[in-house]
Amino acid sequence: MICIELDIFSGMYNPTWSLTAKEENDFLDRILADPSLTAPPTTAGSLGYKGFIVYASENARTRLMSAGLPSYFYLNAKKSTEAQSSLLHSKEAGKETKDDILQIAEDAIPSANKAIQTLNKQWYEYWATHTDSEPAPSPKKENKIAAESDLPEVFQENSAAENSPNCGVLYGVHYNDVFSWNTSYYLKHNNCYSFATFNRNLYRNCARAQPGHKSRFPARINLNDWTDVVNRSVRDGLWTTCPPGPHFLVALVLAPGADYHWYRLCTNGIWCHKPGCAPATYLDASNQVITNPQTCNRNNPGGINYSVFCGYMYVPYNLRVSGPPWQKCGSVACP
């Protein structure tokens, strides 16, 4: 069996589907004829369409591994246009994914292939060296609920950018520390919400964090109403006014009807973000350093335009939004 994940969203779950037996054979023939399609991606991607994550199991896995090829790889936007298009037109894709999202990805393939994007070394090394059995860090150690006295040295009191609100004791992490999210296990299992709340998801079988899941809100988020995302986040523990104790400043934007995205203020007035399972970065869609999430370039060749700036919120340092028991686990995404 081959399972496909369309890497297009930043916060919401990416669409996933399986190939039929014929599609699987055709796809395997294509991969075996051109093994370079399984090579590590040479671009990191940004918001919008980035490519496909391919999971092979059972006979497909055996066939790939017998040819010396990985059974889990990234077919990114700089690779074969024909291969990408064939996956978008597979039989199950239309059942699992809205037609408009498939069309956005289809329209984005030519421009995404031509786009000049910054190579992220950690992104490349992850896909070059990871294994299907990579060990996860200890959730008990990483997800400890910290007191103010436990703030690590990497946290600094933060002077927010002039164009951003400031209140109370605002903390940040140096913008170069975003790369600690781009290694091994953290890349695939965390999205913009985990990153914005500085809350790494360490559970292999759990989907990426979603606003409202901690507070047991219904699974479906109303992406045509940004206040729904805000209300869910407030129930999870975020604040719309100054909270007591150490906290981070974050910003929420929306692509109406499609997706949401979060930014987090790092130090030196620089904003950072993590587009879905792609690497965290401090660059916008124009590869410019983000000093204002309200005015930075949030459009991209991927065709999803995060046009609505919803506002700023505050995240208490000891907040948890990732992990059991509230995070949806099991068959949400491909294995």
Residue 140 has pLDDT above 80, yes or no: no
Are the C-beta atoms of 213 and 197 separated by less than 8 Å? no
Question: Which element (helix H / strand E) includes 125?
Answer: helix 121-129
Structure tokens at 5: 């994940």
Task: Give the whole-angstrom CA distance, residue 75 versus residue 118.
Answer: 17
Tell me which amino acid residue 198 is.
F
Residue among 4, 47, 109 nearest 279 (CA): 47
Residue 150 has pLDDT above 90, yes or no: no
Task: Give the whole-angstrom CA distance, residue 235 versus residue 327.
Answer: 14
> Once rounded to an integer, what is the mean pLDDT over residues 172-184?
74
Helix, strand counts (H, E) of the chain: 10, 10
Q: Does residue 55 or residue 324 have the better pLDDT?
A: 55
Least confident window among 101-105, 218-222, 230-234, 252-256? 218-222
- Distances 190 to 61, 141, 204, 266, 291 between C-alpha atoms, Å: 25, 17, 10, 18, 23
Written as one string, the DSSP assignment of 64-88 is HHHTT--SEEEEETTS-HHHHHHHH
Give the residue carrying structure tokens 């054979």.
25
Residue 250 has pLDDT above 50, yes or no: yes
Are the C-beta atoms of 257 and 332 separated by less than 8 Å? no
Give the residue carrying structure tokens 């985990």.
194
Structure tokens at 75: 């077919």
Task: Give the whole-angstrom CA distance, residue 28 versus residue 61.
Answer: 10
How far from the centroid of its chain's Cα atoms is residue 260's Cα?
A: 11
Give the residue carrying structure tokens 């292999």.
204
Ramachandran bin of 113, using left for φ above 0, alpha for ψ from -120 to 50, beta for the remaining angles: alpha
Residue among 30, 96, 105 nearest 332 (CA): 96
Least confident window among 44-48, 115-119, 255-259, 305-309? 115-119
Task: Give the whole-angstrom CA distance, residue 187 versus residue 179.
Answer: 10
Q: What is the pLDDT of residue 163?
A: 41
Task: Give the whole-angstrom CA distance, residue 92 versus residue 83.
Answer: 16
Least confident window among 149-153, 240-244, 251-255? 149-153
Q: At a CB cut-off of 8 Å and minimum separation 6, what does 3 contact?
A: 16, 17, 18, 19, 54, 55, 56, 57, 334, 335
Query: Sheet holding 271-272: strands in order across?
Result: 271-272, 259-265, 247-255, 308-316
Q: What is the pLDDT of residue 269?
A: 84
pTM: 0.85
Q: What is the pLDDT of residue 81?
A: 86
